[in-house]
C-alpha cells in the first residue's frame, strides 16, 4: 500500500516538474518573441542618444582652416570645381583626434560616467561592460505601465573598432559660388546581451566639422552636387 502511494507521489512530482518545464519554455518563447525586441529597441535608442550627445560636442563650427588643410580643390579654366582631393596628413590628424576623444568617452561610459536612463551603477562596477536595468513594463504599448514590473538586466559592451573617415559635399550656392561641407564619419559597433539573446549593432554617425562658401561653381555634369568620401582611421576598442 505504501509502495503504491509512493509511486503515485513520484508520478505527481514528475508531472508537476514536466508542467513547470513546459510553462518555462512557453514563457521564454513569449519573452523572446514579444519582450526581447522591445528591450533591444529601448537600449539601442538610449545608446544612440548617448553617442549623439558625445559626438555633437566635436563640431568645429565653420573652421575654415580645417577645410583649407584637409581639402585640395581642383578647378578648370572656367573656375568650375571639377575634383576634390584630400591632404592625407591633415586627415589623419583630424580623424585621429576625434577617434581618441570618442574612445575615451566610450571607456568612461563603461566605467560608469554616464547619466543614461536605467543605468545600474552597482552591476556595472569593475566590468568591461555596463548594465541597464530596463523595466518589464517597457514592453507594453501602454505608457502608464512602461516603468512598472521587475527590472530586466541588459548588458552593453562596445566591441571591434571605431572606424572614422571624412566625407565632403559641394553644392551650388547662388551665382558662381559653392557651399562646401566637411563631415567626419564614424562607425561604432556594440554588443547588447539580454537574458535570452545577444545582438550586435553597427551604427553610422556624421559630424558636420566645417562649412564654407567658396568661389567656384559645380559643373552641370555632376548635377550641382559633388561628393567624395575617404576612410581614414581604425582604432580597436579594448
Model confidence pLDDT, tens digit, residues 142-199 = 666 666 667 888 888 888 778 888 888 888 887 888 888 888 888 888 888 887 778 8
Closest CA relative to residue 170, chosen from 36, 73, 86, 50: 73
- The pLDDT score that the predictor gives to residue 173 is 86
Is residue 14 packed enough to be buried (19+ CB in 10 Å), middle (13-18) or exposed (0-12)? Answer: exposed
Q: Which pTM was predicted? A: 0.68
Contacts of 217 (CB under 8 A, 6+ apart): 78, 79, 80, 81, 172, 176, 177, 178
Tell me the mean pLDDT in the region 125-154. 72
6 vs 54: which has the higher pLDDT: 54
Contact 54, 46 (CB under 8 A): no
222 vs 27: which has the higher pLDDT: 222
| CA–CA dist 151, 133 (Å, integer) | 5
Least confident of 92-106, 132-146, 162-176: 132-146
Alpha-helix runs per DSSP H in 31-146: 36-55, 64-70, 88-110, 121-124
Give backbone dihedrals phi and psi of 196, rounded to 5 degrees, phi first: -125, -5
Q: Is the pLDDT at 118 greater than 70, yes or no?
A: no
Tell me the mean pLDDT in the region 20-32. 62
Give backbone dihedrals phi and psi of 92, rounded to 5 degrees, phi first: -60, -45
- The pLDDT score that the predictor gives to residue 129 is 78
Q: Is the pLDDT at 4 greater than 60, yes or no?
A: no
pLDDT tier for residue 47 given thresholds of 50, 70 and 90: confident
- The pLDDT score that the predictor gives to residue 227 is 83
The partner residues of 207 in beta bridges, in order of sequence, read 184
| CA–CA dist 117, 130 (Å, integer) | 12
Is residue 161 packed enough to be buried (19+ CB in 10 Å), middle (13-18) or exposed (0-12)? Answer: middle
Tell me the mean pLDDT in the region 87-113. 78
- The pLDDT score that the predictor gives to residue 207 is 81
| Angle between the N-to-C axes of helices 88-110 and 36-55, in degrees from 0 to 180, rounded to the nearest 10 | 130
Mean pLDDT, all residues of the chain = 76
Tell me the mean pLDDT in the region 209-234. 79
Least confident of 43-47, 173-177, 200-204, 233-237: 233-237
168 vs 60: which has the higher pLDDT: 168
Cell of 48: 544612440
| 81 to 64, 89, 182: CA distances (angstroms) | 18, 23, 16
How many helices (H) does the chain have, and how many strands (E)? 5, 7
Chain centre distance of CA 116:
14
140 vs 37: which has the higher pLDDT: 37
| CA–CA dist 205, 35 (Å, integer) | 28
- The pLDDT score that the predictor gives to residue 41 is 80
| CA–CA dist 212, 182 (Å, integer) | 9
Amino acid at each position: 500500500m505504501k509502495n503504491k502511494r509512493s509511486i503515485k507521489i513520484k508520478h505527481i512530482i514528475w508531472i508537476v516538474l514536466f508542467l513547470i518545464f513546459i510553462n518555462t519554455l512557453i514563457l521564454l518563447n513569449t519573452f523572446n518573441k514579444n519582450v526581447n525586441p522591445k528591450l533591444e529597441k529601448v537600449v539601442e535608442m538610449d545608446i544612440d542618444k548617448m553617442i549623439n550627445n558625445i559626438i555633437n560636442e566635436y563640431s568645429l563650427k565653420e573652421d575654415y582652416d580645417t577645410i583649407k588643410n584637409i581639402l585640395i580643390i581642383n578647378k578648370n579654366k572656367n573656375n568650375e570645381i571639377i575634383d576634390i582631393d584630400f591632404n592625407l596628413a591633415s586627415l589623419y590628424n583630424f580623424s585621429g583626434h576625434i577617434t581618441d576623444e570618442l574612445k575615451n568617452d566610450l571607456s568612461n561610459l563603461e566605467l560608469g560616467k554616464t547619466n543614461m536612463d536605467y543605468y545600474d551603477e552597482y552591476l556595472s562596477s569593475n566590468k568591461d561592460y555596463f548594465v541597464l536595468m530596463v523595466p518589464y513594463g517597457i514592453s507594453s504599448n501602454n505608457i502608464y505601465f512602461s516603468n512598472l514590473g521587475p527590472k530586466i538586466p541588459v548588458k552593453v559592451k562596445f566591441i571591434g573598432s571605431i572606424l572614422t573617415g571624412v566625407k565632403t559635399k559641394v553644392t551650388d550656392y547662388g551665382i558662381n559660388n559653392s557651399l562646401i561641407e566637411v563631415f567626419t564619419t564614424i562607425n561604432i559597433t556594440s554588443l547588447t546581451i539580454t537574458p535570452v539573446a545577444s545582438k550586435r549593432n553597427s551604427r553610422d554617425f556624421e559630424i558636420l566639422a566645417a562649412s564654407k562658401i567658396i568661389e567656384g561653381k559645380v559643373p552641370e555634369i555632376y548635377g550641382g552636387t559633388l561628393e567624395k568620401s575617404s576612410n581614414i582611421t581604425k582604432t580597436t576598442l579594448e
